[in-house]
Structure 1
Amino acid sequence: MPIKTDSPLARRIAAFIFLFFIFGLTFWVLSPFFASLAWAGILAYVTWPLHQRLCRHLPGRANLAALLMTLGVAATLLLPLLWVMFTVVVDVAAASATLKQLAIHGLPPLPAGVRAWPGGEWIAAQYQRVQADPAWVRAQVDALGLTDAAQLKALAGGVGRNAAKFGLAVFALFFLYRHGDSVLTQFRRVATRWLGAAARGYIQAVGVTVRAVVFGIVLTALAQGVLAGLGYWVAGIDAPALWGAITALVSLIPFVGPVVWIGLSLGLLVHGETQAALGLFLWGALVVSWVDNLIRPLVISGPTRIPFLLVFLGVLGGINAFGLIGLFLGPVLLAVSVAIWREWLVHARSV
């Protein structure tokens, strides 16, 4: 039986197709900017209490309060990044020259005193095996990309694109400060209409998780980078700012940060600087890792009431699926899933 074009069913189908078409095109248009908008939303949410306090000191001047907050957040993030980038550029040049010498001349000889250590004969045998294969050493150096001008240019291009995304995020941040209350209210109304009263719990889970991940992962990684960089500087590591920045980036992934300072400690050991190697290893194990292994689980698992294992898997899976923004999206998705699961359990008990 054919469907009449003026029937309610036909109108519903037409409306559904129209909405699907419009929202699909909207998603397509905005898709290149999702990462910047997500970063702006995260920054706005985390700093919202400061914005509210500033608004109370500037009544009736919402635009000025939003502008001051935007400039403050941008300066807080941009100035340290510029300092790190400027320092890293100098350190990358030094590291590139060192790696080129290593690729040409091979690994330096192992200090004679190493054989007297417990297990020293095994260490010396493994080192000599690697030292006897200069092609493998050159391949590992080339894999780092610090000796290839084309890869360095590509890296610079990636930095430029990320800088543009950061600028867009800051631009969007002003409007989120200015209209954040209205946007959140509208979102709550739509979510409540479609999901019922449970939407409030889901929104609360998202907010708590974002704040916990920011303070538990990002700030912990920054603290690890600063502490590790200080240890590298004291131990006499070349390019300490570069290695500190690398440690901070790597530490965003739980339990991966020690790879950097353990590798540098072994490098010092190979060059005969036993005291510096031991000091750096102890600094990393007792100070840098202490920040990661103690503070991160407490800060994340406490407020979210989610097992740290799930947060850990959410971070890894989020990075794999969405890139750096997946640091937040992965745990947030798991937090909402856990909230839904717990709600089902409550309903199951009440039945």
Structure 2
Amino acid sequence: MESRQMAARIALAIILALAAGWIGFAFIPAVLWAGVVAVAVDPLRRKMLGRLPGHHATVAGILTAAVALLVVVPLAMALTSALLEARGIAAWYAATTANGVPVPAWLSHIPWASERAIVWWQTHLSTPEGAAEQLRRLNADTILAHTKVVGQNVMHRAVIFGFSMTTLFFLIRDRDEVVQQLRLGATRAFGPAGERIGGQILASVRGTIDGLVLVGLAQGVIMAIAYAFAGVPHPILLGLLTGIGAMVPFGLLVVMLVALTLLLIKGAIVAAVVIGAFGFVLNFVADHWVRPQLIGGSTSLPFMWVLIGIVGGVETIGLLGLFVGPAVMAASILVWRDFIDRQPASPPQPGTPPAPANP
């Protein structure tokens, strides 16, 4: 009878878990993002509670507002810059259709293909007719359709962002209770190994935050200063994008190519070469020395497994995979190490009497 009741409880729990996952599937990324951010700000939360003991809701509100501002302010800067650029693009479009685009000086410095590139530019862009023909190839209906899709995605992500911030507030406020419940659940489900797996996941998330987010932001600040000295347009915005891109493998190089293109358009070839070399060296040092120490050291993982977790996570679930991927790898390796380290029971020797049963 008890076995039937236990089987019914397990079946009911599985059904309810599947139903809850199905209903809240769209908000799972928001909950995971809130969990990642809660782990990241936990040391700051402890310091603030040391100065404001007992004010859990106040500390949670301050930290949630600070995280929201860290996201909203850069987005507002990018939107403002985009609106200003849109005016410039409209003016450039009018001037291009009226006068054409003159051949830039840097085009003559391209090795091997400079003459062919100049001839193509003179034929298709230098005259008003050629420039207008190239611009007419842009389908207005396609642009409008993409604009609608972008608008819908922005609204959807705004809702997810608001839900993430709400979840983050409650996770920070009720952090101790949530951690205690997770610890008890993991221990009951998996025994002593459950708490070790949970600790390894938290260490992996913290190490990934230090190795990707903090190092990436530092790279963005350094590159913003370099952009400003080299004369790259909008160095602060490009530095911000570089910092965000540096969190993704090879993302810094992609954003840096945009900066190099802007320098080449201005004809600053020497500055482009210097910025390209400096960015490559900075990215090489960060990816081969700094990040392996921060991430691999905290997770006790070879950096190759960390890299597989990062790249595979991004490929599978997007930006959230930066943190979920290494955590899954760390937990998997811990389970494997527990399995291979477990000593098998030695077979009894011939003639040895069996061990007495426990009373």
Q: TM-score range by the shorter chain?
A: 0.7 to 0.9
1:236 to 231, 241, 245: 231
Residues in 1 aligned to 2:119 and 2:338: alpha-carbon distance in whole angstroms: 59
Cα distance, 1:258 vs. partner?
A: 1.5
Residues in 1 aligned to 2:70 and 2:21: alpha-carbon distance in whole angstroms: 31
Q: Indicate the larger mover: 8-17 or 200-209.
A: 8-17
Cα distance, 1:197 vs. partner?
A: 0.5
Residues in 2 aligned to 1:336 and 1:283: alpha-carbon distance in whole angstroms: 37
1:67 to 61, 83, 98: 61
Q: Answer yes or no: is 1:34 the counterpart of 2:24.
A: no
SS in 2 for 1:59: coil
Contact (CA 8 Å) 1:92, 1:239: kept in 2 or not? no
Q: Indicate the larger mover: 92-101 or 334-343.
A: 92-101
Contact (CA 8 Å) 1:87, 1:241: kept in 2 or not? no
Residues in 1 aligned to 2:250 and 2:344: alpha-carbon distance in whole angstroms: 38
Residues in 2 aligned to 1:142 and 1:345: alpha-carbon distance in whole angstroms: 60
Residues in 2 aligned to 1:320 and 1:129: alpha-carbon distance in whole angstroms: 41
Q: Indicate the larger mover: 106-115 or 167-176.
A: 106-115
Residues in 2 aligned to 1:301 and 1:100: alpha-carbon distance in whole angstroms: 54
Q: Answer yes or no: is 1:283 the counterpart of 2:278.
A: yes
Q: Which amino acid aligns with 1:275?
A: V
Contact (CA 8 Å) 1:110, 1:124: kept in 2 or not? no
SS in 1 for 2:342: helix
Counterpart of 1:3 in structure 2 is none
Counterpart of 2:162 in structure 1 is 167
Q: Answer yes or no: is 1:183 the counterpart of 2:173.
A: no
Q: Which amino acid aligns with 2:11?
A: I
1:124 to 103, 114, 118: 114
Counterpart of 2:41 in structure 1 is 47
Q: Indicate the larger mover: 275-284 or 32-41.
A: 275-284
2:12 to 10, 18, 25: 18
Q: Which amino acid aligns with 2:33?
A: W
Residues in 2 aligned to 1:171 and 1:9: alpha-carbon distance in whole angstroms: 41
1:325 to 304, 320, 324: 320
Instruction: Using structure 1 for the length normalisation, give the TM-score.
Output: 0.79
Q: Answer yes or no: is 1:347 the counterpart of 2:337.
A: no
Counterpart of 2:357 in structure 1 is none
Cα distance, 1:180 vs. partner?
A: 1.3
- Does the C-alpha gap of structure 1 residues 106 and 169 become closer, same or farther in structure 2, counting only changes over 3 Å? same
Cα distance, 1:212 vs. partner?
A: 0.9
Instruction: Using structure 2 for the length normalisation, give the TM-score.
Output: 0.78
SS in 1 for 2:223: helix
Q: Indicate the larger mover: 91-100 or 254-263.
A: 91-100
Contact (CA 8 Å) 1:315, 1:331: kept in 2 or not? yes
Structure 2: gaps of 5 or more residues: 347-359
Counterpart of 2:354 in structure 1 is none
Counterpart of 2:149 in structure 1 is 154
Contact (CA 8 Å) 2:108, 2:118: kept in 1 or not? no
- Does the C-alpha gap of structure 1 residues 261 and 100 become closer, same or farther in structure 2, counting only changes over 3 Å? farther
Contact (CA 8 Å) 2:107, 2:114: kept in 1 or not? no
How many pairs are equivalent? 336
Q: Indicate the larger mover: 88-97 or 212-221.
A: 88-97
Q: Tell me which structure has the larger Cα radius of gyration.
A: 2
Counterpart of 2:76 in structure 1 is 82
Q: Which amino acid aligns with 1:53?
A: K
Q: Percent identity?
A: 27
Counterpart of 1:206 in structure 2 is 201
1:248 to 243, 248, 267: 243
SS in 2 for 1:41: helix
Cα distance, 1:304 vs. partner?
A: 1.3
Q: Which amino acid aligns with 1:159?
A: V
SS in 2 for 1:35: helix
Residues in 2 aligned to 1:87 and 1:333: alpha-carbon distance in whole angstroms: 38
Structure 1: gaps of 5 or more residues: 1-6
Q: Answer yes or no: is 1:301 the counterpart of 2:292.
A: no
